[in-house]
Chains A and B, each alone.
Chain A
Amino acid sequence: MHELSIAMGIIKIAEEETKKANKTAVELIEIEIGSMAGVELDSLHYVWKTAVKNTVLENAKLEIDYKEGRAKCLECDTTYKVNKAYDNCPKCKSYFKNILQGKELRIKILEVI
């Protein structure tokens, strides 16, 4: 259940940024999570409510921007959708690829009050 660590990481950053902005609470938090970032959204939602208690995020609205995985084949340059690290190129079947999108795990925006 590393999603709890992820939630704690989010809280730590939100606490720091809210303090830096001289504010007291977060109204909205927008997070970007890639499909291959290793985070289960259900688990994150499960721990979220408990984790944010008595923090600046307690009443914040959580918005998750989920990014689909995309890769570029190193053999034939085809760009294709990947769900799993071992998905191969639909055109030439090669496993060699560059991941273009899907590893995101970041806080995009905080609305603090």
Chain B
Amino acid sequence: MCGVCGCGTDGVAINKPNQEHNHNHDGHSHVHDGHSHDHSHSHGKTIIDLEKDILSHNNIEAARNRGYFEAKNIFTLNLVSSPGSGKTSILETTLKDLKEELNFYVIEGDQQTLNDADRIDALNVPVIQVNTGKGCHLESDMIYDAVKQLKPKENSILMIENVGNLVCPSMFDLGEQKRVVIISITEGEDKPIKYPDMFDSADICIINKMDLLPHLNFDLAKLKNYAMQVNHHLQFFEVSATTGEGMDKWYNWLKKELENNKIKNT
């Protein structure tokens, strides 16, 4: 299409006033005062054969974050779940129990409020809150900016608590080493097949609120079976952040992975 008069298409022509132009085309011509020019042109169309991943920007930034974490030996976890499954409570209990032993840093992701960051800050663990506003997930450039402010030290653990949402965060790599999906037994057993992308992209699955099991009609085997159908690599931890039950196994995993991470990065 001619970029000036819009001819050559059946679309809308947009012209600025007081700007004269003239050209001849096959099919029509128009001449007017001011100037004239004859040309044949191929309408200047360029086809770009792109084949580019739509999430490439996020993936590049995530790779950049991951490189930084590896260089500084910062073991980074991305905690994902639906709202209310107990991500912050698990984090609080973990920090309370292990903060004397290990160096923790936390990035909290929520649409609004500093509430979660305040809970972590009360434990004297360095924390940054990312408020996504209308956004439903964290993206890698938000982590990049948050890390610059948080300045995590070498040989530490960075916990990123994503926005409570079992759909969108699954698509956005933040540069983490492991993704942890949390589900509580007050939710349905079929969450893994209702939201398969999240369970498919996770490395471990923490099942929270196990202290409520005697009071609920929840089939644990069914949950695990559904989750394994989606991702047979998933490793399960059954915990209660409230009573502390089962948390030791999760801590052992964390320490072991931290050690593996150190070996890998040296």
Q: Chain A 79-113 against B: per-residue CB contact (8 Å), 1 yes, 0 no?
A: 00000111010000001100000000111111111
B148 CB → nearest A CB, Å: 21
Instruction: Tell me if B's interface is mostly helix, strand, loop or mixed.
Output: mixed
Instruction: Tell me, yes or no, whether B232 is within 8 Å of chain A by CB.
Output: yes
Please choose the segment from B49-57, B99-107, B234-242 that sits at the chain A interface, where 4 or more of its residues have CB less than 8 A away. B49-57
For A1, the chain B residues whose CB sits under 8 A away are: 136, 168
For A110, the chain B residues whose CB sits under 8 A away are: 47-48, 50
Instruction: Tell me, yes or no, whether B92 is within 8 Å of chain A by CB.
Output: no
Contact of A113 with B196 in the complex, beta carbons under 8 Å: no
How many residue pairs link A and B with beta carbons under 8 A? The number is 98
Interface residues of B in 166-215 (CB under 8 A from A): 167-168, 170-172, 192-193, 196-197, 200
Contact of A85 with B54 in the complex, beta carbons under 8 Å: no
Measured CA separation A66–B49 after assembly (Å): 18
Contact of A2 with B45 in the complex, beta carbons under 8 Å: no
Residue of B51, B57, B167, B229 near A2 (CB, 8 A) is B167
Give the size range of B's interface with the partner.
35 or more
Interface residues of B in 1-60 (CB under 8 A from A): 1, 3, 11-12, 43-58
A9 CB → nearest B CB, Å: 5
Measured CA separation A59–B1 after assembly (Å): 12
Contact of B52 with A13 in the complex, beta carbons under 8 Å: yes
For A21, the chain B residues whose CB sits under 8 A away are: 46, 48
Interface residues of A in 15-42 (CB under 8 A from B): 17, 21, 23-24, 27, 31, 36, 38
Give the interface of B toward A (CB within 8 A): 1, 3, 11-12, 43-58, 135-137, 139, 167-168, 170-172, 192-193, 196-197, 200, 226, 228-232
